[in-house]
Structure 1
Amino acid sequence: MTLNREYIEFCNVKVYCEYLINNKPPLLLIHGFASSTYTFNLLIPLLKKHFSIVAIDLPGFGRSEKSASFVYSLHNYAKIVACCIEHFKFKHVTIVGHSMGGQVALFTAKMIPEKINKLVLLASSGYLKRPNKSLIYCSYLPFFRSFVKRKARRKEVKEYLLDVFYEKSSITADHVEEFGRPLQEDGFYISLIRLLRHREGDLSSDELKKINTPTLLIWGEEDRVVSVKIGHKLVNDLPNAKLITYEKTGHLISEERPTEIYNHIVSHALTQNEK
């Protein structure tokens, strides 16, 4: 069973999709900030035994269009996901979101709750505020793009990866190549700046309390990007959530614990929904 790979236009933006559609329950995978479908490269071969799979690169990231007109807000990312669900004619879908992709999944569940069967949030971002006004103002200055590019390229890609892996020996040349790819594209920096301008704050505690979708939270206890404390807060705010944590595991949990996560996704997604 080979994945299809193609660009599909959602909301006037060309979105890179990897998918395998069969007669099995649908699963939609959403990566995090500055990442891509590669986040799930170890999970997809396992998950496709049990699910129809769709993985997308969010606009501005991976192989998707780096549009200079798209409004890079969490709300609009959720609209992209909703369009994707409509395109593939899914009546109900389970969403797996990593890091910022977890927040996009929550926005989607708020937007179209009737379409979302379950959520699996892997080290999801949460409770981030909108960037401060002075930084947004600076983003309109002529030199700002060059500043962002220099700052991003100041460190080697492997140095960034050291922050997201607990087990440093797990970092491979493929990781360096895939996570370093966007740093070579000028469009990536335009997208970053527009995301800085447009990204609203994460859902508030009051908004989270209204999301009744059954949700599984999975975290690495040594996550240095999104602390496991966020997971504990989310599990208290989401009415129908459960939290699982792993010792000696960092932020890129899909790479460090693929088999365990696969088993949890299967168990969570395929149990009968109470709705």
Structure 2
Amino acid sequence: MEANSFAASKTVAGIDIYYEYYQHPASRDTIVLIHGFLSSLFSFRHLVPLLKEDYSVISVDLPPFGKSGKRTSYEYSYKNLARTLTELMDGLNISTYTVIGHSMGGQIALNILRHFPGKASKAVLLCSSGYLKPAGRALMLSSRLPLFHLYVKYHLGRSGVEKNLRNVVHDHSLIDDEMREGYLAPFMDNGIFKGLTRMIRDREGDLPQEALRQIQTPCLLIWGEHDKVVPLSVGKRLARDLPQANLIVLEDTGHLVPEERPEEVASHIRKFIGEPLQQTNR
């Protein structure tokens, strides 16, 4: 059955949130996709067509990325981003859902589970960020300089989209012009650099071990064997600290698992949503 799809922007918590909604005509399950740092919902372009066959799917641009707002008055902490997403779902009258987060998006998903229990019934963490500390004092102080956002722009420009893609994709033959342009597009709006500067100050660090151990929501962890950004060791540690977690490792795969292995990821998600969790890591 064909999903009814539309794109929209909704003001939530004082900032515009852009999202794409694929409403399944029969399924009662909804999936919420949260992308990673320096990315956008473009990173789920291969996964969405597979998931919308069986579920309603909402893919969101996190502020200040993609087509969402970039206001410097917004608080870009993980907890507030998590709150903003739960308020978006409340506004769409979606009471419960499976949250799927890639990289930094995984950490925001964990913040939803920790700070807003009951909103997400399950979570899938794709190479999720974990155990990172807040920015150092010197960087936080520097971020308050009037033109610091220009330094952020210069720093990101030096690394370049090609170098970044080669770092996150294991099979470099997958990198083509469509991928380059898709990951570059969010940075054509200069407002993003001011938003990123504010994020440096607001990012409170990843959830500590003691907070993770209080999360009782079933979690599926999917990791790339050759992840250079968030090493597999982080996934193994998260699997130990989360009370109800299973870890799946994809061979010959890097950090960008939704791009490299969409069919395998979708298959594991279907099994996870459709079946109760059978194993815990204790």
Report if TM-score (shorter chain) is over 0.5.
Answer: yes
- Secondary structure at the counterpart of residue 223 of structure 1: coil
Aligned with residue 101 of structure 1, among 85, 98, 105: 105
Q: Is the 8 A contact 1:103 1:124 kept in 2?
A: yes
Distance 1:42 1:72 in 2: 27
Give how far 1:89 is off. 1.6
1:51 paired residue number: 55
- Secondary structure at the counterpart of residue 27 of structure 1: strand
Q: Does 1:158 align with 2:152?
A: no
Q: Is the 8 A contact 1:152 1:183 kept in 2?
A: no
1:8 paired residue number: 10
Q: Does 1:142 align with 2:142?
A: no
Q: Is the 8 A contact 2:47 2:258 kept in 1?
A: yes
Q: Is the 8 A contact 2:112 2:119 kept in 1?
A: no
- Extract structure 1 runs of 4+ deviating beyond 2 A: none
1:85 paired residue number: 89
Greater CA drift, 240-249 or 80-89:
80-89
Distance 1:36 1:155 in 2: 18
Q: Does 1:17 align with 2:19?
A: yes
**Same amino acid, percent of matched pairs:** 39
Aligned-partner residue type, residue 105 of structure 2: G
Give how far 1:272 is off. 4.3
Distance 1:40 1:95 in 2: 13
Q: Is the 8 A contact 2:41 2:61 kept in 1?
A: yes
Give how far 1:184 is off. 2.1
Distance 1:3 1:170 in 2: 28
Q: Is the 8 A contact 2:4 2:23 kept in 1?
A: no
Greater CA drift, 79-88 or 223-232:
79-88
Distance 2:4 2:56 in 1: 12
- Secondary structure at the counterpart of residue 114 of structure 1: coil
- Secondary structure at the counterpart of residue 107 of structure 2: helix
**CA deviation vs aligned residue, 1:195-243 (integer Å, no higher than 9, x gap):** 0010001100000000010000000011111111100000000000000
**CA deviation vs aligned residue, 1:158-210 (integer Å, no higher than 9, x gap):** 11110010000001111111111122221110011000010001100000000
Aligned-residue RMSD, C-alpha: 1.3
- In the alignment, structure 2 segments of 5+ residues that lack a partner are none
- In the alignment, structure 1 segments of 5+ residues that lack a partner are none
Normalised by the size of structure 1, how large is the TM-score? Answer: 0.96
* Matched length: 274
Give how far 1:2 is off. 5.1
The 5 Å alignment of 1:1-275 reads 1=3, 3-22=5-24, 23-24=26-27, 25-272=29-276
**CA deviation vs aligned residue, 1:24-69 (integer Å, no higher than 9, x gap):** 1111000000111111110110101111111100010011111121
Q: Is the 8 A contact 1:117 1:273 kept in 2?
A: no
Distance 2:53 2:260 in 1: 20
Query: Compared with structure 1, are the counterparts of its residues 172 and 3 closer, same or farther at alpha carbon in structure 2 (3 Å cutoff)?
Result: farther
Q: Is the 8 A contact 1:62 1:182 kept in 2?
A: yes
Greater CA drift, 265-274 or 208-217:
265-274
